[in-house]
Amino acid sequence: MDISIGELSRRTAVKVATIRYYESVALVPCPPRSEGRQRRYGEHEVSRLSFIRHARELGFDIEAIRELLAMSAQPDQSCAEADRIARRHMAEVDRRISQLTALRAELQRMVEACGHGRVGDCRVIETLANHDQCEHASH
C-alpha cells in the first residue's frame, strides 16, 4: 500500500496524467494520500488499471469499461451483460472496418486515376469536386 502514481504508471504503462484523468472521471477511486498529499496506491489498483488499459487497447469506451469493472467486482452475477458489451463493441468495430474498406477502395480509384499532370486535369481534385465521379456509397 505504498505505490506512488509514478510507480503505478511504470507498472501499468498508463501515463500519470491519464491516471489522474481516470480518477477525475471516477474510473478509478480517489486513493489515500501521504502526509505530503501524494497519492498512494496498492496492488488492487495496479490490477484495476491494467484491466482499464487492456480494455482501452481493445477500443472499449470509458463507460463500457466502467460497466465491465463493476461486473468484475461481482463474480456471482451472470456474465451475459459482459458478453453483450463485447459483442456490441465488436459490431461497432465491424461497421468501422466496412466503412474504412469502402473508403480505401474509393481512394484507390482516385489515386490510380491521377496522372500527375495539371490540377485542371487532376482526378483527385475532380473526384472531390464532382459527386458524379464518385462511386462512394454515401451519395
Q: Which residues lie near a second copy (CB under 8 A)?
A: 47, 50-51, 54-55, 57-59, 68, 71-72, 74-80, 82-83, 85-87, 89-90, 93-94, 96-97, 100-101, 103-104, 106-108, 110-111, 114, 116-122, 124-125, 127-129, 131, 134, 136, 138
Q: Interhelix angle for 43-57 vs 5-12, to 10°? A: 50
In the complex, the smallest distance separating the C-beta of residue 113 from DNA, rounded to whole angstroms, is: 24
Answer for which of 32, 34, 111, 129 binds DNA (CB under 7 A) is 34
Buried b (16+ CB within 10 A) or exposed e, 11-37: ebebeeebbeebeeeebbeebeeeeee
User: Which window, 10-18, 83-91, 98-106, 123-131, contacts DNA (CB under 7 A)?
Assistant: 10-18
CA distances from 120 to 98, 108, 125, 131, 133 (A): 32, 20, 8, 17, 15
Q: Which does 29 bind (CB under 5 to 8 A by kind): a second copy, DNA, none?
A: none
